[in-house]
């Protein structure tokens, strides 16, 4: 018998039970990965540590729509004819106008497109990158509502995501929930914005048109900023009628640094993005790291994530400068299995960092990539939780104050009382939505110049939920439909 949704059964008053099995959801729904004995040896992992890593990897892979970039042909550009190789950054290589949403868990009445486009790495080499566009059902209109209104173009928010991983599989455009789900992209699309979201080079498309490997230059903010601006160019060229020319930039964490750095690039006199710089209405950077090597919650993770592809930036860099031989091997293991941040944190320990990593030349060289202390194209809204354990509020304060002292501009630093790394996004939602709306309406800032402000909770702080206790779970097959009571 054809499957009927339980709510339809209720609504129709059918009392005949079909006998269709409703299966228990399992933790390895769509992946059965297992580390090989050689991989266990490479990471010097016990059987128990290996089992933990298998669980994490199987969970991560289950989140991949269509099996992720290694199975989804969209990300493959190996057959691109030579005469179609891009010649400049910001060109469209492949456009998937309609992305079938059935393997994604985006909200009902949102739609997706995906594209592959050209961008450059930090040294100017032309490489491919992927991006998604999340479409609203009805575009936000800044004029009064008229009967049967169909707005001509949707206002654009260029969204730069935080750390989702370090390899092809980690692209938000391949994640069922776009990795940030309702924290940002769903919220924006449901508020009527078109969300243009770069994956960052190396995430999504792992191999270039010429067969070369595309590294992910993690936390090289100018590279990510270029990926974002080139995604904007390519998306607008693909949908000139549907996307507004004006845009607001918004980013969080890794993407917060990218967004801040993007504003610095647009603030340079002779920057390479003058075609789109004048349509920039402002930038929001949430929890942007500006001094990553001061991180005190497990620096070995960042040494591994930054270090694994740093040779593509500094050819004389050797990962052994930062990590012990075992730390290097664990990073090689992560390279083999495309381990994400949780996978890495499950196997790296403080002992995997070289004791004197901080004294190496490459640390100082890398610090020049961090945002802050440069002129920006404002306005810039920094949002920072006072209880963020990863990006400390005093570090962001220092970066903001130094920038404001040397290069005064419209920069607001908004503190979130009790806000942690992600919960600050929830807490400040009204503020950032309003700020974006005000920029599109062309309204003046509430306060111009360099200002600090604080958002306090409405009810006593201790009443509030601090972290989410659940996770987005794909229940798109009929045997799990009992998990979707609001899906009729
Ligand atoms: C993953 O899901 C597909 C259906 O979407 C199914 O055909 C396949 O068997 C699943 N793989 C695993 C390992 O569960
Ligand atoms: C590998 O792990 C074992 C403990 O399981 C430890 O005794 C040994 O020293 C480790 N090897 C290296 C190279 O760190
Ligand atoms: C959904 O994903 C599975 C593999 O996980 C694939 O076989 C199927 O074609 C995908 N469906 C669509 C509509 O892309
Ligand atoms: C790449 O660019 C960085 C930053 O501009 C520079 O320090 C580095 O030397 C360059 N590397 C190469 C291989 O040109
Ligand atoms: C709006 O749509 C309705 C239903 O299609 C139609 O009857 C009506 O004439 C339309 N109004 C205008 C102003 O176009
Ligand atoms: C990196 O350093 C290690 C340890 O000193 C050395 O064995 C290795 O050959 C070096 N690699 C390169 C490419 O220089
Ligand atoms: C910020 O605060 C932490 C913890 O109190 C402290 O260790 C660190 O030195 C401070 N950093 C700055 C830049 O003030």
CA distance 372 to 396: 9
Domain end (from 344, 369, 394):
369
The CA-CA-CA angle for residues 189, 258, 75, to 5°, reads 65
What CATH number does the domain containing 192 carry? 3.40.50.1820
Closest CA to 134 of 74, 194, 204, 92: 194
Cβ < 6 A, ligand 7 pocket: 392, 394-395, 398
Tell me if 341 sits within 8 A of 55, measured CB to CB: no
Closest CA to 245 of 308, 364, 152, 120: 152
Q: Ligand 6 centre from 211 Cα, in Å?
A: 26
pLDDT tens, 323-381? Answer: 999 999 999 999 999 999 999 999 999 999 999 999 999 999 999 999 999 999 999 99
Domain end (from 341, 369, 397):
369
Q: For residues 207 and 95, state if they share a domain.
A: yes
Place of tokens 């920072």: 384
Q: For residues 350 and 242, state if they share a domain.
A: no
Q: For residues 393 and 462, state if they share a domain.
A: yes
pLDDT at 30: 77
pLDDT at 479: 84
The verdict on the CB of residue 123 being under 6 Å from ligand 6 is no
The verdict on the CB of residue 311 being under 6 Å from ligand 6 is no
Phi, psi of 453 (to 5 degrees): -145, 170
Residue nearest to atom 2 of ligand 4 (CA): 123
pLDDT at 27: 62
In a domain, 214, yes or no: yes
The gap from C-alpha 77 to its chain's centroid, in whole angstroms, comes to: 22
Residue nearest to atom 8 of ligand 1 (CA): 30
In a domain, 211, yes or no: yes
pLDDT tens, 134-154? Answer: 999 999 988 766 666 666 799
State whether residue 114 is helix, strand or coil: strand
- For residue 146, the ligand 5 atom closest to its alpha carbon is 13
Q: For residues 402 and 364, state if they share a domain.
A: no
Residue nearest to atom 11 of ligand 2 (CA): 44
Task: Characterize the bridge pairing of strands 194-198 and 154-160.
Answer: parallel
Residue nearest to atom 1 of ligand 4 (CA): 123
The verdict on the CB of residue 100 being under 6 Å from ligand 3 is yes
In a domain, 441, yes or no: yes
In a domain, 416, yes or no: yes
CA distance 34 to 84: 39
* Encoded tokens for 349: 């320990």
* Encoded tokens for 248: 């607001």
Cβ < 6 A, ligand 5 pocket: 147-148
pLDDT at 389: 95
pLDDT at 152: 77
Q: For residues 133 and 50, state if they share a domain.
A: no
Q: Ligand 3 centre from 15 Cα, in Å?
A: 33
DSSP structure string for 240-309 = TTTEEEEEEEEEETHHHHHHHHHHHHHHSTT-TTHHHHTTEEEEEEES--S-GGG--S-HHHHHHHHHTT
Q: For residues 312 and 172, state if they share a domain.
A: no
In a domain, 20, yes or no: no
Q: For residues 435 and 337, state if they share a domain.
A: no
Q: Ligand 6 centre from 325 Cα, in Å?
A: 10
CA distance 263 to 371: 10
Tell me which ligand sits closest to the C-alpha of residue 328. 6
The verdict on the CB of residue 318 being under 6 Å from ligand 6 is yes
- What is the number of domains present in the chain? 2
Task: Characterize the bridge pairing of strands 126-135 and 154-160.
Answer: unpaired
Residue 260: burial class (beta carbons within 10 Å; 0-12, 13-18, 19+):
buried
Q: Which residues of the chain have pLDDT under 50?
A: 1-2, 4, 6-17
Q: Ligand 6 centre from 333 Cα, in Å?
A: 18
CA distance 262 to 228: 8
Phi, psi of 64 (to 5 degrees): -90, 120
Element (H, E) at 412: strand 411-416
Q: For residue 35, how many other CB atoms are within 10 A of its CB? A: 21
Residues 6+ positions from 311 with CB-CB distance below 8 Å: 317, 318, 319
Q: Which of 43, 44, 330, 347 to mutate to test the pocket of ligand 2 (most atoms within 8 A of CB)?
A: 44
Q: For residues 95 and 202, state if they share a domain.
A: yes
Q: Could you tell me the pTM of the whole model?
A: 0.93
Burial pattern 296-314, b for ≥16 Cβ within 10 A else e, equals eeebbbbbbbbbbbbebbe
Q: For residues 321 and 381, state if they share a domain.
A: no
Phi, psi of 482 (to 5 degrees): -65, -15
Q: Which domain holds residue 264?
A: 80-142+151-291+377-481
Q: For residues 287 and 312, state if they share a domain.
A: no
The verdict on the CB of residue 42 being under 6 Å from ligand 2 is no
Tell me which ligand sits closest to the C-alpha of residue 23. 1
Q: Ligand 4 centre from 57 Cα, in Å?
A: 34
3-state helix, strand, coil in the chain (%, to 5): 40, 15, 45
In a domain, 170, yes or no: yes
Cross-strand partners of 411: 380, 450
The verdict on the CB of residue 320 being under 6 Å from ligand 6 is yes
pLDDT at 364: 98
Phi, psi of 395 (to 5 degrees): -65, -45
Tell me which ligand sits closest to the C-alpha of residue 480. 1
Tell me if 327 sits within 8 A of 300, measured CB to CB: yes
- For residue 67, the ligand 1 atom closest to its alpha carbon is 1
* Encoded tokens for 276: 């789109």
pLDDT at 22: 83
Tell me if 436 sits within 8 A of 406, measured CB to CB: no
Q: For residues 220 and 350, state if they share a domain.
A: no
In a domain, 456, yes or no: yes
In a domain, 287, yes or no: yes
* Encoded tokens for 386: 């006072």
Domain end (from 336, 369, 402):
369
Place of tokens 């970066």: 399
Q: For residues 424 and 287, state if they share a domain.
A: yes
- First vs last C-alpha separation in the chain: 19
CA distance 259 to 380: 9
pLDDT at 484: 85
């Amino acid at each position: 018998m054809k499957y009927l949704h339980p709510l339809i059964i209720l609504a129709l008053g059918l009392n005949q039970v079909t006998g269709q099995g409703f299966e228990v959801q399992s933790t390895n729904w769509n992946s059965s990965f297992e580390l090989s004995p050689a991989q266990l040896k490479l990471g010097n992992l016990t059987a128990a540590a290996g089992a933990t890593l298998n669980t994490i990897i199987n969970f991560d892979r289950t989140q991949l729509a269509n099996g992720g970039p290694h199975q989804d042909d969209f990300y493959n550009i190996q057959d691109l004819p030579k005469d179609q190789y891009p010649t400049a950054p910001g060109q469209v290589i492949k456009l998937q106008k309609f992305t079938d949403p059935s393997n994604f868990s985006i909200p009902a009445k949102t739609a997706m497109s995906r594209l592959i486009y050209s961008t450059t790495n930090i040294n100017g080499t032309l490489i491919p990158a992927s991006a998604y566009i999340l479409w609203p059902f009805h575009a936000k209109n800044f004029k009064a509502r008229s009967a049967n209104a169909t707005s001509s173009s949707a206002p654009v928010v260029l969204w730069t995501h935080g750390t989702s991983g370090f390899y092809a599989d980690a692209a938000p455009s391949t994640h069922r929930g776009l990795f940030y789900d309702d924290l940002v992209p769903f919220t924006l699309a449901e508020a009527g914005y078109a969300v243009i979201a770069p994956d960052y080079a190396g995430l999504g498309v792992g191999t270039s048109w010429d067969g070369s490997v595309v590294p992910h230059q993690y936390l090289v903010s100018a590279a990510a900023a270029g990926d974002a601006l080139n995604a904007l160019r390519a998306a607008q060229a693909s949908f000139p009628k549907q996307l507004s020319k004006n845009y607001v930039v918004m980013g969080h964490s890794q993407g917060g640094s990218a967004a801040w750095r993007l504003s610095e690039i647009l603030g340079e006199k002779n920057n390479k993005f003058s075609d789109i710089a004048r349509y920039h209405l402002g930038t929001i950077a949430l929890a942007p790291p500006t001094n990553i090597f001061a991180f005190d919650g497990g620096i070995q993770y960042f040494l591994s994530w930054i270090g694994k592809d740093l040779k593509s930036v500094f050819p004389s860099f050797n990962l052994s400068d930062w990590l012990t031989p075992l730390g290097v091997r664990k990073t090689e293991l992560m390279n083999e299995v495309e381990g994400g941040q949780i996978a890495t944190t499950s196997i790296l320990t403080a002992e995997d960092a070289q004791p004197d990593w901080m004294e190496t030349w490459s640390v100082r060289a890398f610090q020049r990539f961090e945002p802050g202390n440069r002129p920006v194209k404002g306005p810039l809204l920094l949002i920072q939780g006072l209880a963020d354990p990863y990006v400390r509020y005093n570090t962001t304060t220092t970066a903001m104050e130094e920038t404001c002292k040397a290069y005064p501009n419209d920069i607001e630093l908004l503190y979130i009382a009790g806000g942690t790394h992600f919960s600050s996004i929830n807490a400040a939602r009204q503020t950032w939505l309003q700020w974006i709306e005000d920029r599109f309406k062309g309204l003046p800032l509430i306060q111009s110049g360099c200002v600090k402000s604080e958002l306090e909770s409405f009810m006593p702080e201790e009443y509030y939920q601090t972290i989410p206790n659940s996770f987005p779970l794909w229940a798109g097959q009929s045997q799990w439909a009992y998990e979707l009571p609001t899906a009729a």
